[in-house]
Amino acid sequence: MKDSHYDVAIIGAGMSGLAAGIRLAHFGQKVCIFERHNTPGGLNSFYSTAGRKYDVGLHAMTNYVAAGIKGTPLGKLLRQLRIERKEFALCPQKQSLIAFRDCALRFTNDITVLDTEVATKFPAQAAGWRRLGQTVRTYDDVSLDAKPQSAREVVARHITDPLLTDMIFCPVMYYGSAQERDMEFGQFVIMFKALYLEGFARPIEGVRVVIRVLLDKLRTAGCERRMKCGVARIIEEQGKAARLVLDDGGEITAGHVISSIGFAETMKLCEPSHDSAAGANTGALTFVETISIYNRQPAEWGWGDDSIIFFNDSDRFEYARAKEQVDIRSGVICLPNNFDYGGANLPEGIFRVTCLANYDRWAHLPEETYQADKRRWFAEASRSARRFLPPVDDAVLEKALLATDMFTPRTIKKFTGHINGAIYGAPNKIRNGRTHLSNLYLCGTDQGFLGIVGAMLSGISIANYHVLQGSTGRAR
């Protein structure tokens, strides 16, 4: 028989929920993670179709640093979850590119490469770039009580060229901004460090390696996990989350509840529901992604240099909800083959393209129209992205094509529960994780630590800050 009372109940088995569960169980907390779906990982998971495994979300893990570098998010994560570095089997990127219509900036996991690119192509901005880097390095981005401020306003004190400004913001926003056209500066700093000061890496087998390690640590620590068993309601009594009603009608109680499913989504679970609070902080930014599998390595077509390409082909970079179903003017190309796997490589070529989208224009289409629109936008997004790669004849690509797939905002909503299919959740983050209930906390996307490493650190931080501090097993 399943237990009905826990020290901590965690809603959602995404990266942050799994990390929180491991951390708490290490200190003797009786913990259970409740997940509505049958696959863990949340926004960063994988699925199988026709014998192939496809990553969802993961282009690369950010915050990568080489072994031996101390005081970094990756090092803190490994230490606090008791993970050996080799278990993640991370392989660094070769290089990546910010490609705009009339300019391109190359960057690697060595910040001096980007420093040189900026100084060469924007010499008048070199001093400002250095000042911005120093501001970022000294900013306390892990403070849970930092006052919000506009990233655009802070960056403008250092960088005056609008093209360079847009190029700096493009990767940072695509990899972590829930706000249109701007970011909270703390969020900007987190992503600037994660992408530019640290860098990209991935396991050769993709995100399932990371999930496999987390599940192993979860089992070893003794944390319970209930899959296909979501939380339907959070019953409020006397300012606390008194009971959780599960999808199957069962009920459990917990001293603390940590929700990783998002602010608005959590507020809607509460009974009485807090719809007005949810509506005032619901995200709208969502994406489509196309995946093409080839029987050739991308390098054979001259596509072998860049791991990730952030592209834009408009006068100004417009990071906002698409007016049509998809905005193909900008996006992200990921070529997973182009990481340094130490002489190995993926058995097939993979070409992924991510573009901004509009949830409302996908959500309620009849199935036949939905499938037709997917085919149309698949072709449009792929064609737009390929402008930023060496040209390859359509017939050559078609002959080498083995399989395709595509997800839309509707897919995201179905498998994550995120309102509007919003990848990065609420525009206004709750840094301290607190809610209107004294024992209900947020971790993950809407707490504000971004990326896969950031999500796991979010779970750890909320577990440490709200549960372990003051408990019998104090966090170390």
Range in 46-50, 130-134, 354-358 with the lowest mean pLDDT: 46-50
* More reliable by pLDDT, 407 or 46: 407
Asked if residue 27 has pLDDT above 50, the reply is yes
Report how far residue 318's alpha carbon sits from residue 468's, in angstroms, rounded to the nearest whole number.
42
Per-residue pLDDT at 38: 86
Assigned token pair, 356: 């901004």
- Helix residue spans in 139-236 (DSSP H): 151-156, 162-174, 185-192, 207-221
Spatial separation of the C-alpha atoms in residues 352 and 295, rounded to whole Å: 15
Mean pLDDT within 399-416: 94
Write the burial class of residue 115 (CB in 10 Å: 0-12 exposed, 13-18 middle, 19+ buried): middle
Which of 161-165, 218-222, 445-449 shows the lowest per-residue confidence on average (mean pLDDT)? Answer: 445-449
What is the reported pTM?
0.94
Structure tokens at 358: 């509009």
For the chain, count helices (H), then strands (E): 16, 19
Mean pLDDT of the region 233-252: 95
Q: Does the structure show a pLDDT above 60 at 476?
A: no
- Whether the per-residue pLDDT at 195 is higher than 50: the answer is yes
Kindly report, residue by residue over 48-98, the tens digit of the pLDDT. Answer: 888 888 888 778 889 999 988 888 999 999 999 999 999 999 999 999 999
pLDDT tier at 474, thresholds 50, 70, 90: very low
Cα gap 47→74, rounded to integer Å: 26
Calculate what percentage of the chain has a pLDDT beyond 70: 98
68 versus 99: the higher-pLDDT residue is: 99
Residue 1, pLDDT score: 47
Phi and psi at residue 84, in whole multiples of 5°? -75, 140
Cα dist from 149 to 182, 187, 451, whole Å: 10, 10, 21
Query: Distance between CA atoms of 274 and 231, rounded to whole angstroms?
Result: 16
Q: What mean pLDDT value characterizes the chain?
A: 93
Over residues 148-157, the pLDDT tens digits come to 899 999 999 9
Measure the CA–CA gap between 48 and 58, rounded to whole angstroms.
15
pLDDT digits (tens, 9 = 90+) for 314-327: 999 999 999 999 99
- Judged by average pLDDT, the poorest of 218-227, 302-311, 411-420 is 411-420
